[in-house]
Amino acid sequence: MESMAARRTKRTLRKNEFRKRLCEAKQFASEPGSKIVDPADCVSLLEAVIQSGDRVALEGNNQKQADFLADCLCNMDAKRVNNLHMVQSVIALPSHCEVFERGIAGLADFSYSSPQSARVAQMVSEGKMKIGEIHTYLELFGRYFVDLTPDVALVTAISADRAGNLYTGPNTEDTPTIVEATKFRQGIVVAQVEKIVDRLPRVDIPGEWVDFLVPVGRPCYTEPLFTRDPALITDVHVLMAMMVIKGIYGEYGVRSLNHGIGFGTCAIELLLPTFAESLGLKGKICSHWTVNPHPSLIPAIECGFVESVHSFGSEVGMEDYMASRPDVFFIGPDGTMRSNRAMCQVAGHYAVDAFVGSTLQVDRYGNSSAAVAGRIAGFGGAPNMGCDPPGRRHSTPSWLRAGRESAMTSGLIGPVERGRKLVIQMVETFGAGRVPSFVHRLDAWTLMEEAGFAIPPIMMYGDAITHLVTEEGIAHLLRCDSLKQREAAIKAVAGYTDLGREADPKETLELRRHGIVQTPEDLGIDIGDANTSHLAARSIRELVEWSGGLYRPPDRFREW
């Protein structure tokens, strides 16, 4: 047992340590007693509040980035401050890598790094970056409150008042989670903001949790990550989307759901007002969403398909449209949307009937991975949405139906009824450049060997997948009663890939007879009729028209 004195010392050490740093840093305030620091003094400020070996949460989200603070972090004197342990959701910007290249940071615990995946892999192989673990968002957030609590948080907001209160606007994203974890363990919070104002539209982060404000005079970098141009949707996407709507959403009565990023799900969203409506599914499916505000949802919202949308983050250009629909989006008393990645991840994990994602590779067991050799991309939130949460206890019709159909889950719990979330993977049998999506060995195994991971980075394990949808048809994997049967069902929809060619036509016919595999024909869908003319909008411009001019797409998506 520790002595009383030792306990007392430990108790006060951390608090005193940060108090000392704050006193030291106060010299950089624009005037005595102020939290405001001139951007020109920001590097000095960071050198005062961050010490070698610290855990630093640099706010990197899917959308908004604390880009100014990231640049300042890179410009610190590496001789003075080094060996930092970065704990951040997303490694997205070149500066997120630069801080490792310059020897300021050494260790990273993160969730997602797709935008910098090649560089991350290269830095790992050169020994410039060590990876602690790669997490899902919820796991990393969880660890912020267990063993990866940040010492210093560098966050971003739209505006602040002099007391330090922050207004994050629609892109609230990870800020509340990062700040809460840091400040309540006495850490230091620095926020970059576009400007200081006298009165904020609303307070997203209380001022006493924020130590320093850096008004940079411009908005932070924000990526329109979830904008998909409908013009790029192909007839094959439409075919697969029709199958999902008719064969799964309509069949199970999927009311609440999450859609991943991808053109297949984009096609589903744009077929709701047309194809789904023609099947009489309005009011029966797709009413409650946990998704980012996809512009491609606008027609379904305007047609009255959608009752609610809660979001992880915002989407550039959707602000005014969302503000006009407080009946659908989560809008504050100030009239603007507030997102929250942690809350939306929880919702997407526990509270939805279905998740639909896409992937690059699927093996014969249905394990899927987007890992490519030479690239470390991480997981993001997909594994949390794309799984059946064992802790779920509430029921919905879709959940109960899927549970009843699950032929392999009763093995360990006896004759007790239990539901199941639908986890749907949409994947074309061949990807870009005719690269087969169905493989004997996932590239994840190669990446594991290259990067020295303990296990291959599998995005979704086969046992989580209830439905695999390709242009060949739907494999209702949950209805299979053995791994062998699951393999046969996967091969049956794997088309002309090597794995698909192993399918036994007689066995496939048998699976179709039992409703385990359904082709478009079995579903009453004419392949020749699958084309983009069914989409409610076929261009970004048409989405703008649907929104009554309120959706303002970024310039790169404008062709007019």
Task: Work out whether strand 152-160 and strand 55-58 pair parallel, antiparallel, or are unpaired.
Answer: parallel
CA–CA distance from 40 to each of 21, 68, 372 (Å)?
19, 11, 41
**Which residues are CB-contacts of 303 (< 8 A; sequence separation ≥ 6)?**
272, 273, 277, 282, 536
Q: Which is nearer to another protein, 215 or 264 (CB)?
A: 264
- Residue 518 touches another protein, criterion: CB under 8 A: no
> Segment near another protein (CB under 8 A), from 23-31, 422-430, 445-453, 456-464?
422-430
- Residue 465 touches another protein, criterion: CB under 8 A: no
- The single residue among 496, 515, 549, 556 that binds another protein, judged by CB under 8 A, is 496
How far apart CA 340 and CA 222 sit, in angstroms, is 16
**Which residues are CB-contacts of 196 (< 8 A; sequence separation ≥ 6)?**
36, 159, 160, 161, 162, 213, 215
- Residue 229 touches another protein, criterion: CB under 8 A: no
Nearest to 489 by CA among 475, 474, 468, 507: 475
Q: Which is nearer to another protein, 70 or 494 (CB)?
A: 494
**CB 278 to another protein: min, Å:** 18
- Residue 235 touches another protein, criterion: CB under 8 A: yes
- The single residue among 428, 443, 463, 487 that binds another protein, judged by CB under 8 A, is 428
How far apart CA 50 and CA 82 sit, in angstroms, is 9
How far is Cα of residue 412 from the mean position of the Cα atoms in its chain?
32
Q: Which is nearer to another protein, 117 or 470 (CB)?
A: 470
The DSSP secondary-structure symbol of 274 reads I
Nearest to 420 by CA among 461, 357, 465, 382: 465
- The single residue among 273, 378, 380, 495 that binds another protein, judged by CB under 8 A, is 495
**CB 430 to another protein: min, Å:** 4
**CB 514 to another protein: min, Å:** 22
Distance between terminal CA atoms of the chain?
73
- Site size with another protein, rule: CB under 8 A: 23
Question: Tokens representing 166?
Answer: 């922050």
Q: Per-residue x/- mask for another protein, residues 378 to 417, rule CB under 8 A?
A: ----------------------------------------
**CB 496 to another protein: min, Å:** 4
H runs (alpha helix) in 411-525? 443-451, 483-492, 498-501, 505-513
Other CB atoms closer than 10 Å to residue 173's CB: what's the count? 29
- Residue 530 touches another protein, criterion: CB under 8 A: yes
- Residue 430 touches another protein, criterion: CB under 8 A: yes
**CB 342 to another protein: min, Å:** 38
- The single residue among 529, 533, 558, 559 that binds another protein, judged by CB under 8 A, is 529
**CB 269 to another protein: min, Å:** 21
- Residue 27 touches another protein, criterion: CB under 8 A: no
How far apart CA 352 and CA 288 sit, in angstroms, is 8
How far apart CA 94 and CA 111 sit, in angstroms, is 17
Q: Which is nearer to another protein, 483 or 527 (CB)?
A: 527
- Residue 535 touches another protein, criterion: CB under 8 A: no
- Residue 434 touches another protein, criterion: CB under 8 A: yes
Nearest to 176 by CA among 186, 189, 163: 189
Q: Which residues bind another protein (CB under 8 A)?
A: 234-236, 239, 428-434, 470-472, 495-496, 501, 526-531
